Amino acid sequence: MVLGGCGACVVMLSKYDPVHDKVEDFTVSSCLTLLCSIHGCAITTSEGIGNSKDGFHPIHERIAAFHASQCGFCTPGMCVAIFSALVNAEKTSKLDPPAGFSKLTVCEAEKAIAGNLCRCTGYRSIADASKSFAADVDIEDLGFNSFWKKEDSKESKIDNLPAYNRNKEVCTFPEFLKREIKDGLSMDSKISCWHSPFNVEELKDLLKALDSGKGTETKLVVGNTGVGYYKELGRYERYINLNYMPELSIFRKDSIGFQIGAAVAISKVIEALNEENHVSQQGNAVVLFETYRAAPRPLGNALAYLNAAFLAQISPYDTSDGITINHCRLAFGAYGTKHAIRARRVEEFLTGKVPSVEVLYEATKLLRSTIHPKDGTANSAYRSSLAVAFLFEFFSPFIDGTAETTDGSDKNKSKLFSKASIIGENQDPICQDKIPTLLSSGKQVIKLSKEYYPVGKPITKSGAALHASGEAVYVDDIPSPYACLYGAFIYSTEPFARVKSIKFETKEQPEGVFEVITFRDIPEAGENVGSKHIFGTEPLFGDDITQCAGQRLALVVADSQKHADVAAKLAVVDYGVEDLEPPILTVEEAVRRSSFFDVPPFLNPKQKNEHRRRKLRKHC
């Protein structure tokens, strides 16, 4: 089971920093956060910022009225993400916004929900609700909601939004917790132990002491985003929390570069680097840095097919209008290797070269021949082609002339190349014009019909505010009835094979298992139907011959979900392929073997005058 990617369980964690005497507020996925790691912290949920009893927060009201909740399962996490962004925006030195708005910018509002996945509503309505708090939002760009009428003026629309008071503290950090931070937490139980060293020396002593234990597995944790994603795979006897060690929480700049502690949050690193991200306007050399990522969902939670990071120092060429590559670094990830790999031969080839079509062509050839995915890496040819494409995208602007050079006497000293954009002191790089916004833009136009009014009128969905506050009750929230049984399917691993038998790895029946149900257990009067669709019916259970990999073969019934899941994993299916044709695994193979679905008549209805058109085509 992979956890931590959807953001549905996001909560705001508040932690006191005794060194700077301030409270830090940030979001965490509660499914990844270990209980012992929040010692001395305050947790705020969506229900904590507002609810049906104490009154909903403007975030809840706007989410509901902007129609930003459908099933509502992800909505509480969205609301907490927006709330955390509002809280942290108020800590900045930005100018005070107009009444009813926050210091949040439109771009920051979009970024606030970038880590949350929604599988049914779509992001425009959620983004509109989030952006309605931004000081720089254009009210006219926001979508339909139940607050406004089409003829309302801009001022009227602002007045009709639920009032947001940025000076009102919804959640205050408890004073008594500020004293708890001085005491580290150490716990010992039958299952595992938890230690919180306060410096490197304590950590060394602790590791030495733990090494003496035979078979003891120890895990160093900060945010638990390593093993936390695979909760069922990683079980450790001892956990060591590194968050209390100041040596691992430093961020320091020196003459060589940056010193970043292992326990520094990525968000803090990004924030600090943005503050340091200034490009000299006086020199004749520019350092360019670009990152690339190809994944099924470019902006969402998905494993990348390929990552790449390129750095190049370039300067004007002395005898022409071109440029020279002084030096470069090309790094690639997701090649099946443990760490990122460098294309050092390509780097050496490009150093000192003037970019041209010929140079870039030779560089891509060299890249293909020197950097190979590790044996067994999926889609290796595709990953290699992506690497070439990324390299071409990085250097091509210096060949086609879109990156213009300037010398010291040029009037345009603000930048050396149009590609090397200068990030101002208080600007967010994600908001630059050259970088697309996180979400696509759109506008809703709905005409209300007087004949069917109020059908079509934007009306807040009943229960949407409860979705937003986290008070809505789902199946998982309902207590299990007495003597409840649980099930887990056993799936086929072969696409087209005869099922000879289904057994368990162990001689004895796994713990808690009551029964294993297959298609043979369906009563004579019953039907083996799992679902119906336009092409017919899909069986609930596969029969003697599997039709595809992943087909349901049996259902394990047990006294708990855990026992059912464990037993299903212990199932061993004996297959046979005697006298069976090879399975069809590609579209091309399906065409060759004439394996087609019959198109239902309603998907291809006969058109009027079809017979006449056929006659006309014959005479043409």
Q: What is the pLDDT of residue 137?
A: 92
The phi and psi torsions of 173 (rounded to 5 degrees) equal -65, 125
Q: Where are the domains of the chain?
A: 10-160, 281-422, 480-620
Q: For 420, which DSSP code?
A: S
Which of 122-126, 322-326, 388-392, 553-557 has the largest mean confidence? 553-557
Say which residue, 577 or 266, is predicted with more confidence.
Answer: 577
pLDDT tens, residue by residue, 502-534: 999 988 899 999 999 999 999 988 899 999 888
In CATH terms, the fold of domain 480-620 is: Aldehyde Oxidoreductase; domain 3 (3.90.1170)
Q: What is the pLDDT of residue 516?
A: 96
Judge whether residue 490 has pLDDT over 50.
yes
Judge whether residue 426 has pLDDT over 60.
no
Q: What is the pLDDT of residue 395?
A: 87
Give the right CATH number for 10-160 from 3.20.20.140, 3.40.50.300, 1.10.150.120, 1.10.569.10.
Answer: 1.10.150.120
Q: Which amino acid is at 516?
A: V
- The pLDDT-based confidence of 267 (bands split at 50, 70, 90) is confident
Q: What is the mean pLDDT of residues 546-557?
A: 96
- The pLDDT-based confidence of 19 (bands split at 50, 70, 90) is confident
Judge whether residue 23 has pLDDT over 80.
yes
Q: What is the pLDDT of residue 413?
A: 32
Q: What is the pLDDT of residue 350?
A: 94
Judge whether residue 419 has pLDDT over 50.
no
Please calculate the CA angle 508-513-519 and round it to the nearest 5 degrees. 105
In CATH terms, the fold of domain 281-422 is: Enolase-like; domain 1 (3.30.390)
- The pLDDT-based confidence of 184 (bands split at 50, 70, 90) is low
- The pLDDT-based confidence of 500 (bands split at 50, 70, 90) is very high
Q: Which amino acid is at 357?
A: V
Complete DSSP assignment for 13-59: EEEEETTTTEEEEEEEETTT--GGGGTT-EEE-HHHH-BTTTB--HH
Judge whether residue 403 has pLDDT over 80.
no
Q: What is the mean pLDDT of residues 350-364?
A: 91
Q: What is the pLDDT of residue 614?
A: 61
What is the spatial distance between Cα 67 and Cα 61, in angstroms, rounded to a whole number? 10
Residue (of 111, 88, 166) closest to 133 by Cα position: 166
pLDDT tens, residue by residue, 211-228: 765 556 888 888 887 766
Question: How much of the chain, in percent, has pLDDT values that exceed 90?
Answer: 42
The phi and psi torsions of 366 (rounded to 5 degrees) equal -65, -35
Say which residue, 344 or 257, is predicted with more confidence.
Answer: 344
Q: What is the pLDDT of residue 324?
A: 86
Helix (H, G, I), strand (E, B) or coil at 490: strand
Judge whether residue 408 has pLDDT over 70.
no
Q: Count H helices, E strands: the chain?
A: 17, 20
Poorest-pLDDT segment among 422-426, 451-455, 497-501: 422-426
pLDDT tens, residue by residue, 273-283: 777 654 433 44
Contacts of 46 (CB under 8 A, 6+ apart): 60, 75, 76, 77, 79, 80, 83, 468, 469, 470
Which strands make up the sheet holding 193-195, listed edge to edge? Answer: 187-188, 193-195, 238-241, 218-221
Whether the CB-CB separation of 239 and 192 falls below 8 Å is answered with yes
Q: For 154, which DSSP code?
A: H
- The pLDDT-based confidence of 269 (bands split at 50, 70, 90) is confident
Q: Chain-wide mean pLDDT for the chain? A: 83
Whether the CB-CB separation of 602 and 535 falls below 8 Å is answered with no
Judge whether residue 464 has pLDDT over 70.
yes
Judge whether residue 297 has pLDDT over 90.
no
What is the β-pairing status of strands 486-491 and 187-188?
A: unpaired
Judge whether residue 134 has pLDDT over 50.
yes
The phi and psi torsions of 332 (rounded to 5 degrees) equal -130, 145
Burial 161-192 (b: 16+ CB within 10 A, else e): bbebebeeeebebeeebeeeeeebeeeeeeeb
What is the spatial distance between Cα 416 and Cα 281, in angstroms, rounded to a whole number? 8
Q: For 530, which DSSP code?
A: S
Poorest-pLDDT segment among 191-200, 437-446, 538-547, 594-603: 437-446
Q: What is the pLDDT of residue 467?
A: 96
Residue (of 105, 68, 118) closest to 444 by Cα position: 68
**And the tokens for 530?**
């799992």
Q: What is the mean pLDDT of residues 290-318?
A: 82
Q: What is the pLDDT of residue 301?
A: 66
Whether the predicted model's global pTM rises above the 0.85 cut: no
Q: What is the pLDDT of residue 458?
A: 78
The phi and psi torsions of 342 (rounded to 5 degrees) equal -100, 140
Say which residue, 315 or 448, is predicted with more confidence.
Answer: 315
What is the spatial distance between Cα 307 and Cα 47, in angstroms, rounded to a whole number? 38
